[in-house]
Structure 1
Amino acid sequence: MIRTVLAVIAGIIVGSIGIWLMEILGHSMYPYPAGLRPDDLEGFKAYVENLPFMGKFMVILGYALGALISGFVSTKIANNNTPVAAVSCGIIFLFFTIYNMIMLPTPAWFWVLGIAVWGLVLAGYKLALNKNMI
């Protein structure tokens, strides 16, 4: 039980790092407007609303990377051959994703992909079960 909880925590950490790295790449392609403050929610909403498709899609790619690595790492650490840790990571990330989509202006396609992509934790789980992997 403790190992599974630690596996979920580790999965959330590495998944968050994966998302963060992909979002850094996205922001390098589509930088924040000059003068945008971190506490300016309305300014950030305007930035997200005006992002081109690829800028928004980079976020989905970040979620995909986060799902894969969180599913993989949590399964490896849990070491119990069940998808419980991976699915737990996916559910936690899904709640945060839905919160972000409620708070920010996101199109319908983003909602569909933003929810569906967290199923990739199961792909990470399957990869972790492969005895030829790390």
Structure 2
Amino acid sequence: MKPILRNIIAVIVGLILGSTVNMILITIGNSMFPIEGIDINDMNAYASIMPTLEAHYFLFPFLGHAIGTFIGALVAAVIPVSYKMKFALGIGCFFLLGGIYMNYLLPGPTWFTVADIVLAYIPMAWLGGKLALKFSKKS
């Protein structure tokens, strides 16, 4: 397979798998810790209650962002022939932009916003890239 095609596939598969893992974890969190009396599909109502939520409501969103980014970056770094870490970090940057946007739409407590932006994206993409590099050195 041509390298450019593998690179395109790496990005697409990394984004799809990372997003899927993210949404699965957020859905699990919403079922484990439902927010009573609010329609989570109503963005305005959801945004108004976000700053008042307790810490456990933010566990699964953080895990979704971190693990989703990690899986997406890992997959995106395993598939291409070269520039593996660049693909991993590219996925991390993409998810970081999404995280910044979501924190703008649904602003939570400052501690969560800082932890999410600083810890969930670029560091997890870097870890995914490093693990992918270890896989490729063994094969």
TM range (shorter): 0.7 to 0.9
Separation in 1, partners of 2:75, 2:57: 27
Any gaps of 5 or more consecutive residues in structure 1? none
Separation in 2, partners of 1:79, 1:102: 36
Separation in 2, partners of 1:105, 1:81: 35
CA shift at 1:83, angstroms?
Answer: 1.0
Question: Would you say the 8 A contact 2:73–2:89 is kept in 1?
Answer: yes
* 1:12 and 2:9 aligned: no
Query: What are the superposed Cα offsets for residues 3-24 of structure 1, whole Å, 9 maximum, x if unpaired?
Result: 2222111111111111111111
Question: Would you say the 8 A contact 2:76–2:84 is kept in 1?
Answer: no
Match of 2:132 among 125, 128, 134: 128
Any gaps of 5 or more consecutive residues in structure 2? none
Separation in 2, partners of 1:129, 1:105: 36
Question: Would you say the 8 A contact 2:38–2:45 is kept in 1?
Answer: no
1:14-29 alignment to 2 at 5 Å? Answer: 14-29=17-32
The aligned counterpart of 1:67 is 69
CA shift at 1:2, angstroms?
Answer: 3.3
* 1:43 and 2:64 aligned: no
Aligned-pair identity in percent equals 29
1:81-100 alignment to 2 at 5 Å? Answer: 82-100=84-102
CA shift at 1:73, angstroms?
Answer: 0.4
CA shift at 1:61, angstroms?
Answer: 1.1
The aligned counterpart of 2:33 is 30
TM-score (norm 1): 0.86
Separation in 2, partners of 1:59, 1:129: 28
CA RMSD of aligned residues (A): 2.2
TM-score (norm 2): 0.83
